[in-house]
Amino acid sequence: GAVVSQHPSRVICKSGTSVKIECRSLDFQATTMFWYRQFPKQSLMLMATSNEGSKATYEQGVEKDKFLINHASLTLSTLTVTSAHPEDSSFYICSARGYGDPGSGANVLTFGAGSRLTVL
């Protein structure tokens, strides 16, 4: 099945630094990747939709200058949290749209393992 690799799985950084998270589709091409954020005991929140070769589409309330997304190839999207602050501490998860099982006619989402960011 489809595999999405996300790195790093855990990062601790000082306030004011920037952190880059990578998301790779390992055995399929992903023209679209999605970035989510999840705070403890809360649901997944879509941050942005990343499209290969074009600018990302950000959800309302998500600062595009703070959360830089680059989708330079069909297998790699990156999220950079710029000038991170403690309130940016969260679980960031990427996902890529692949193909569902035969007969479903549906695209399914495959998730990376997530990156837990702690900003001190």
Partner 1 sequence: RKEVEQDPGPFNVPEGATVAFNCTYSNSASQSFFWYRQDCRKEPKLLMSVYSSGNEDGRFTAQLNRASQYISLLIRDSKLSDSATYLCVVYNFNKFYFGSGTKLNVKP
Which residues of the chain form contacts with partner 1 (CB under 8 A)? 32, 34, 42-44, 46, 49, 91, 93, 95, 100-101, 103-114, 116
Provide the minimum distance between the beta carbon of 84 and partner 1 in the complex, in angstroms, as a whole number: 20
Nearer to partner 1, 28 or 111 (CB): 111
Provide the minimum distance between the beta carbon of 111 and partner 1 in the complex, in angstroms, as a whole number: 4
Nearer to partner 1, 34 or 67 (CB): 34
Provide the minimum distance between the beta carbon of 16 and partner 1 in the complex, in angstroms, as a whole number: 26
78: how many CB neighbours lie within 10 A of its CB? 18
Nearer to partner 1, 8 or 100 (CB): 100
Provide the minimum distance between the beta carbon of 48 and partner 1 in the complex, in angstroms, as a whole number: 11
Length of the chain equals: 120
63: how many CB neighbours lie within 10 A of its CB? 10
Nearer to partner 1, 18 or 21 (CB): 21
